[in-house]
Structure 1
Amino acid sequence: MPNAIRTYVRWVDAFNRTVGRLVMYLIFVMMGILLYSSISRTFFNEPISWVMEMAQFIMTGYYLLGGAYSMQTDSHVRMDLLYGRWSPKRQAITDVITIFFLIFYLVFLLVGAISSTEYAISYGQKNYTAWAPPLAPIKIIMSIGIFLMLLQAIATFFKDWARMRGETLA
């Protein structure tokens, strides 16, 4: 593989590994918010209107920003009826073919996310709830997460291509 591809894969993997390992701690932030809400409601009889939406926003960031790391570590869910029995080369060939469907999907998802983010920023879009938070920050995070997943999918394509050729690319 050319050095440019090796460098791309190395940089994307390193960046997504860093982001993924930082983002995994958001689960504790979400748990803290939900615990705070539970204590506030149970002991002080003070329900908090922003808790559920904030927990949903944090979970969205956790899920979308961690998606590329999940793909990198092969931790995502895979339907394995035949795949596990195949040789590594046949698995790589299958992965090279099927990754194009993921890349195609992520490109359209990213175009929609960017369009939605532009709309939220231009019109000051807010959620239709009592708290009414602005939606631009979560949509920006959504766009970044999808973009990182697209970069990782391309890096995975290169790794599978190298594996198909009997090389390793890390």
Structure 2
Amino acid sequence: MPHIIKLYVRWVDRINRVIGRFAMHFVLVMMFGFLYSAFMRMAFNVYFNWMMESAQFLLSAYYLLGGGYSMQLDSHVRMDLLYSRWGPRTRACIDIVTIWLVVIFLVFLLLGGISSTEYALVNDQRNYTAWAPPLAPIKIIMTFGIFMMLLQTLATFFRDLATALGKSIE
């Protein structure tokens, strides 16, 4: 494989690894937020109306920022009827063809995310709740996560192409 492709795969893997490991901690932040909210409600009868929305935002950031890392680790959900019976080169050949469905989906998702983020920034879009947080920050994070997943999908394509050709990308 050309050096530029190896460099691309290495850098995308490294960036998604850092982002994914950072995003893993969002679950802990969400858990402590829920515990704090429950404690304050039980002990002092203080209710935080923003906690559920914060958890939704954190969960969205968690799975979209962690998507590229999940793809890198090959730990995403896969319908495995025949796939596990095939050898590595056969899997790579099938993945080379089918990964373009994921790329098309992610491109449309990215275009929608960019449009939605632009709308949120221009119109100061807020959620329709009592807390009414601005939606632009979470939309920026979501669009960035989709973009990183798209980059990781292309890195996976190059890795599968190398495997199908009997070469190593590393």
Task: Bin the TM-score by the shorter chain.
Answer: over 0.9
Q: Which residue of 2 is the match for residue 125 of structure 1?
A: 125
Q: Equivalents in 1 of 2:8, 2:63: separation in Å?
A: 24
Paired residue for 2:87? 87
SS at 1:76's partner residue? Answer: coil
User: Residues 1-42 of structure 1: CA distance to partner in whole angstroms, max 9, x if unpaired?
Assistant: 111100000000011011111111111101011111111111
How many equivalent pairs are there?
170
Moved more, 20-29 or 128-137: 20-29
Q: Deviations over 1:98-122 (max 9, x none)?
A: 1000000000000000000000000
Query: 2:56 maps to which residue?
Result: 56
Query: 1:103 corresponds to which residue?
Result: 103
Q: Match of 2:98, as an amino acid? A: T
Q: How far 1:147 moved relative to its partner?
A: 0.2
Question: Distance in 2 between the 1:55 and 1:36 partners?
Answer: 13
Deviates more, 1:114-123 or 1:17-26: 17-26
- Using structure 1 for the length normalisation, give the TM-score: 0.99
Following superposition, the deviation at residue 73 of structure 1 comes to: 0.4
- 1:138 equivalent in structure 2: 138
**2:111 alignment partner AA:** V
Unmatched segments (≥5 aa) in structure 2: none
Q: Percent identity?
A: 59
Which residue number in structure 1 is paired with residue 75 of structure 2? 75
SS of 1:47 mapped into structure 2: coil
Structure 1: which 4+ aligned runs deviate by more than 6 Å? Answer: none
The amino acid across from 1:151 in the alignment is L
CA distance in 2, matches of 1:43, 1:76: 40
CA distance in 1, matches of 2:19, 2:65: 7
1:14 — aligned with what? 14
Residue 167 (str. 1) matches residue 149 (str. 2): no
CA RMSD after TM alignment: 0.6
The TM-score with structure 2 as length reference comes to 0.99
Paired residue type of 1:148:
M
Which has the larger displacement, 104-113 or 40-49? 40-49
Structure 2 Cα separation of the partners of residues 137 and 22 of structure 1: 17
